[in-house]
Amino acid sequence: MPSVDEELVSLSEYYFSILYTVIMANINPDLQKERQNGTFEVEKLTNVLDGDKFVTDRRRYVESLALNEKELTDGPDYNFMSRKERYVNSLRKAVHFLKCCNKYNFENPADVYMFERTAFPNEVSPIGLHSAMFIPTLRGQGTKEQIEKWVPLAENHQIIGTYVQTELGHGTFIRGLETTATYDPKTEEFILNSPTLTSTKWWPGGLGKTCNYAVVMALLYTDGKNYGMHPFIVQLRSLDTHEALPGLAIGDIGPKFGYDTIDNGFLRFNHYRIPRMNMLMKSAQVLEDGTYIKSTKNDKSSYGAMVFIRSVMIFGVAARGLAQACTIAIRYSAVRRQSELKKSQPEPQILDYQTQQYKLFPLLASAYAMWFTGLQIRDLYFTVNYDIQQGDTERLPELHALSSGLKSITTSMASWGIERCRLACGGHGYSAASGLPKIYVNVSPACTYEGENTVMLLQCARYLMKAYDAAKNGQKLSGSVDYLSERISLRSSITSEFSLASLVDAYKHRAARMTKEASERLGRLQACGNDPEDAWNLNSVVLTKVAEAHCHYYMVLVFESIVESVEDDGVKEVLKQLCQLFALFGIHENLGDFIQDGFLSNEQMVLVKQKELSLLSDIRRNAVLLVDAFDISDHLLGSILGRFDGNVYENLFEWAKTSPLNKPEVQESYVKYLWPLLNQNKSKL
């Protein structure tokens, strides 16, 4: 729980209510009607999404602080800037953001997170990794002396650092990295080198132009022996001139699909020397004479950190990204009128078309499912982290596997879902004014970073195979895999009630059956002569599906538990509908998985399809309120189509008029290229 400054919060509530009244006066009538017709109180659902009322208030207060900083919000339109301008503007904001952090002196990291999110809506800060990765790595991997030396420099921004791991030829697979750090006992230095082209460090954020320091991961050689990856503190640029230091080649890796605001960079070492003490020595040391000493303490904290980052990705990247896209597409679908449902009647809101509902509402349900799952994993992290502090690491493998799999399926779902939302907005979705392209290119890389999604699924699957073997050997499993040691129902309990328990049960059955089959298939592949690695590879497509099924089950399970925990009847009812839709859409999309062994009968299948469609009508009534409840400000959305007030067309037109291509009206290119073309045959006119 963040500490709450009550006076300020009530002030923020006051401003919020004024703002709300002002906005409502000018609201698009279609949206106004939608907001009057709901069956539940939006604010109560917002509180559920935030955790509780106090978090909602605090979030709004912190967001309002950021929104009041003109340096952060007033700049030129992102869409009208060149790539370089986007980087420079972002750097400008990043520096101001640090000033704000000093000014407001936030105690709670959640406040900093929310403030930064508002300062960089669907963008990345070029110095974001300084506090997200550089300082934590110093703290986590450094000795006490190293922490005392480096962390204050970093916290005072006398040095700005990043975290440098991936290489041109090497990504998720860390053991493949090639950069070397060879110890030279004569000078007591490490010599960093990039022995091959593919060993060029590639992708680290902020590396290209911004940072002057980095933690660099490199293969440690001492006494002629390779000791594997270790972290080193490396100065990259002169603190006076910001020029790259001799022996280093540094630069930006060039334009990307998105991430324009950040200078992902490359770095090559040409026998570059750093002092011995620049190796971060918490878990291993190299002595003056080159002796290598590994710490005896088995440090699991980096696993915990990974779990935490992934929970933030599920919640802060995947769920919020899709929630934003749904907000835009659903509000716009309530405003947009098109075509005809009935002859000689006015064009209906496109939200009234069943096909539009079918595009958007399952995505809305997914956004809720991911949101709750992200929060749940975050809470689980705190629990397990507490256990780790107490020396109990038993649940860590399970949590690691689960968070890997969930990171994968939620970022994939969100990524595809955002594009579906964009396409559901028709032509205008393709305009930068929709805000959707920016959201998409910001979320989509999450499918790759922090572990490529297929690799993540296979990590999850490896854990499931082990757990299944353990269960088969009579071990009683707990946590998210408990069902593998339970007796699983062979026939679905789904009735026309569609109780959430019956839906959880269906997903449990599917995951259990698929795990069992995959394990048996793995056994058969080995039995017929494949060695374990080949068998694993020949089974890997099946295994990714198993991991997906497990994570899908977990999401339904979490969603159910949230619905059960909600006290307000109105909110409970709409969440129940969303949970049902999330589960039923998943069953329909993967129907074969549920009917192939007769688990779901023909009659139940028919019921599922019917209920899926009837839920669309149920949710239709509350659709706009269900996205309002995400409480994402217009500034964060960055979308004309998704404006809270629904005044889409006038703002699209005003925005277009300010487009740089419209100044001047007659362009130089006309004189240079068109005029000669138009006049070459003028005599014939």
Closest by CA to 658, choosing from 670, 640, 682, 679, is: 640
Q: List beta partners, residue 252.
A: 265
Closer of 42 and 233 to a second copy (Cβ): 233
Closer of 283 and 349 to a second copy (Cβ): 349
Q: List beta partners, residue 202.
A: 266
Closer of 280 and 535 to a second copy (Cβ): 535
Q: Is 450 a catalytic residue?
A: yes
Kind of pairing, strands 265-269 and 284-286? unpaired
Q: How far is the CB of 158 from a second copy (least distance, A)?
A: 6
Instruction: Give the span between the Cα atoms of 517 and 484, in whole angstroms.
Output: 12
Closest by CA to 126, choosing from 284, 265, 219, is: 265
Closer of 196 and 383 to a second copy (Cβ): 196
**CA distance to 482, 484, 487, 500, 550, per residue, from 475 (Å):** 10, 10, 13, 28, 19
Q: Which member of 63, 450, 548, 560 is catalytic?
A: 450
Closer of 56 and 200 to a second copy (Cβ): 200
**Structure tokens that stand for 40 in this block:** 């539940």
**Structure tokens that stand for 640 in this block:** 């004309």
With beta carbons less than 8 A apart as the criterion, state whether 563 and 570 touch: no
What residues form the annotated binding site for FAD?
166, 205
Closer of 356 and 639 to a second copy (Cβ): 356
**Structure tokens that stand for 509 in this block:** 């059955």
Angle ∠(520,525,529) on CA atoms, nearest 5: 140
Q: How far is the CB of 465 from a second copy (least distance, A)?
A: 15
Q: How far is the CB of 378 from a second copy (least distance, A)?
A: 26
Instruction: Give the span between the Cα atoms of 543 and 454, in whole angstroms.
Output: 10
What residues form the annotated binding site?
166, 205
Q: How far is the CB of 647 from a second copy (least distance, A)?
A: 10
With beta carbons less than 8 A apart as the criterion, state whether 307 and 397 touch: no
Q: Three-state DSSP class for 670?
A: helix
Closer of 20 and 430 to a second copy (Cβ): 430
Q: How far is the CB of 91 from a second copy (least distance, A)?
A: 5
* The one-letter amino acid at 379: D
- By the 10 Å C-beta count (0-12 exposed, 13-18 middle, 19+ buried), 138 is classed as buried
- By the 10 Å C-beta count (0-12 exposed, 13-18 middle, 19+ buried), 487 is classed as exposed
Q: How far is the CB of 120 from a second copy (least distance, A)?
A: 15
End-to-end Cα spacing for the chain: 78
**Structure tokens that stand for 495 in this block:** 């009735």
Q: How far is the CB of 635 from a second copy (least distance, A)?
A: 19
Q: How many CB atoms lie within 10 A of CB 36?
A: 8
Q: Which residues are catalytic?
A: 450
